[in-house]
């Protein structure tokens, strides 16, 4: 008997240059695949055409190669997968699991302004009565598709049946068998008005399509696993094992951000830092 399959991925969005935090994340996933005798995939999460740039994708690949990582070709680019996301959305739509949301950013801001006690008082998005929806559609108003948590809960026979395995840790040390709580995120958007898809839908569809068995990523995305677990159940997709890792922090204790241009990997390289020195510093 061979070892069980182990497929993991690094899934950056080409909206900026990689920094030390990304290096830690990519190296962690790569090391996990190597140690398990498994496969390491690179996925370019470029659905947001307005924010993603081909030059960042090129720079990301240069940085990862400099770090000593190798990945399988062809690289999956989410902008080439819109038909697959559309099919998943259509599946959910025909089963009554999503609804059109015509709310604008201004509606949400107005709600926040009105709500005396913060987020909890905001109007919850909800399915519109058919006549109102027909009127807005006839007016040509743009809409997003939201997941109906109520319909989803009925479809899966209760959220308490949904669990996932966490082999790393969530931000509060969550580990082991985790009961999924998709209700905490509410009726999430599955197709943005401007894009026709959302991060959650694309990730759930692609992790399954690529045969990812282990999702290795920062613990800032632990909450996303709860929603993605529900989408896996609704779309009849396998659930990978999750390995969320702690976020690498800057010396001042803050998170690295794409706007910290002085800390990009390209910048470190230009200053003569070697990949070996960076790997030693990061301990991966």
Least gap, CB of 143 to ligand GLU (angstroms) = 25
Residue 43 three-state SS: strand
Least gap, CB of 276 to ligand GLU (angstroms) = 25
- Cβ pair 126, 151 in contact under 8 A: no
Stretch that binds ligand GLU, among 5-13, 30-38, 231-239, 269-277 (CB under 6 A): 5-13
By CB under 6 A, residue 217 contacts ligand GLU: yes
Catalytic, 258? Answer yes
Q: Where are the beta strands (DSSP E) in 55-185?
A: 76-77, 98-101, 144-147, 163-166, 176-179
Task: Give me the 227-266 binding string for ligand GLU, x by CB under 6 A, dash otherwise.
Answer: ----------------------------------------
By CB under 6 A, residue 162 contacts ligand GLU: no
Least gap, CB of 108 to ligand GLU (angstroms) = 23
Helices 275-282 + 20-35 axis angle, to 10: 80
Dihedrals φ, ψ of 192, to 5°? Answer: -70, 150
Tokens of 40: 């390491």
By CB under 6 A, residue 214 contacts ligand GLU: no
By CB under 6 A, residue 11 contacts ligand GLU: yes
Q: Where are the beta strands (DSSP E) in 88-157?
A: 98-101, 144-147
User: What residue ranges bind ligand GLU (CB under 6 A)?
Assistant: 11-13, 45, 203, 217, 221
């Amino acid at each position: 008997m061979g070892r069980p399959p182990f497929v993991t991925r690094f899934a950056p969005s080409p909206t900026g240059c990689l920094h030390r935090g990304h290096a830690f994340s990519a190296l962690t996933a790569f090391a996990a695949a190597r140690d398990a005798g498994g496969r390491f995939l690179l996925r370019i999460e470029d659905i947001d055409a307005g924010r993603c740039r081909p030059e960042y994708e090129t720079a990301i690949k240069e940085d990862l190669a400099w770090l000593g990582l190798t990945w399988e070709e062809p690289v999956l680019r989410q902008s080439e997968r819109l038909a697959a996301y559309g099919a998943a959305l259509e599946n959910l739509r025909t089963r009554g699991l999503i609804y059109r949301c015509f709310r604008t950013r201004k509606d949400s801001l107005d709600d926040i302004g009105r709500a005396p006690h913060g987020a909890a008082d905001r109007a919850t998005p909800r399915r519109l009565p058919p006549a109102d929806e027909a009127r807005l559609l006839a007016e040509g108003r743009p809409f997003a598709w939201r997941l109906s948590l109520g319909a989803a809960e009925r479809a899966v026979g209760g959220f308490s049946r949904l669990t996932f395995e966490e082999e790393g840790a969530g931000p509060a040390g969550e580990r082991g068998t985790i009961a999924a709580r998709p209700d905490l995120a509410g009726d999430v958007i599955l197709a943005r008005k401007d894009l026709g898809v959302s991060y959650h839908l694309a990730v759930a569809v692609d992790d399954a399509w690529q045969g990812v068995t282990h999702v290795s990523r920062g613990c800032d995305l632990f909450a996303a696993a709860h929603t993605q677990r529900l989408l896996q159940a609704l779309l009849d997709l396998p659930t990978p094992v999750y390995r969320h890792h702690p976020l690498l922090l800057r010396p001042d204790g803050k998170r690295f951000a794409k706007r910290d241009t002085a800390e990009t990997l390209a910048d470190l390289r230009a200053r003569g830092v070697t990949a070996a020195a960076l790997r030693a510093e990061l301990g991966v």
